[in-house]
Amino acid sequence: MQVPKLIILGRDGILNRFREDHVKEPSEWEPLPGALEAVARLNHAGWHVVVATNQAGIGRGMIDMSAVNAVHLHMMKMLAAKGGRLDAVFFCPHTRDDGCDCRKPLPGMMHDVAQRYGADLSQVPMVADTLRDLEAARAAGCPPHLVKTGRASLVSEAEVAQWASAVPGTVVHDDLAAFASHLLQQELASRFAV
């Protein structure tokens, strides 16, 4: 079986606007400008995109599984309307106090992704908007990418630079569209490298 070209994205702050009070219903899931189109561009270039997201609102009783499923169905429909798709959504329903191994910055969700797809995580870029998620990428062995949307847009440029330097190898992008352009240009360049 051939291993697919795979990318792991966080959800809130990367695909959709981050909400401090959690996305609790489909109407609260608001895509970031250009994010859905970026996923479609990556799909059309042969990349499979999965989401790995902490959803502690479940563990806190703020949202139930039917609401999570409704939000994700809405997200998938909006993506499909732009010609894109997500292959899967992995999520951690636990709170910080639950002691699980799937809540980022721990690498459990990424290991689940690797197991499902037979992927070598050192070949799977991971897109983050927080230091915690960059640390999760490092713990999993994924190449780390930071987008300056979501929670990264709420801090200073100096703090963004600190996050990036805290996780060696981090590449910083303005948003998911800029990440997609970077990755596709890199792929093109490697194809024509002698």
CATH of the domain at 177: 3.40.50.1000
Helix ranges (H only) for the chain are: 35-44, 56-59, 65-81, 108-117, 131-140, 157-166, 176-192
Total count of domains within the chain: 1
126 CB neighbour count, 10 Å cutoff: 27
pTM for this model (two decimals): 0.94
95 CB neighbour count, 10 Å cutoff: 16
pLDDT in tens, the chain (194 residues): 577 899 999 999 999 999 988 899 999 999 999 999 999 999 999 999 999 999 988 988 889 999 999 999 999 999 999 999 999 999 999 988 888 999 999 999 999 999 999 999 999 999 999 999 999 999 999 999 999 999 999 999 999 999 999 999 999 999 999 999 999 999 888 877 65
Tell me the two tokens of residue 175: 């948003």
- Cβ-count burial 48-87 (b if 16+ within 10 Å, e if not): bbbbbbbbbbbbeeebeeebbebbbebbeebbeebebebb
Query: Which pLDDT value is given to residue 57?
Result: 86
Rg (Cα) of the chain, in Å, rounded?
A: 16
Q: For residue 45, what are the domain limits?
A: 5-192
Query: Which pLDDT value is given to residue 1?
Result: 59
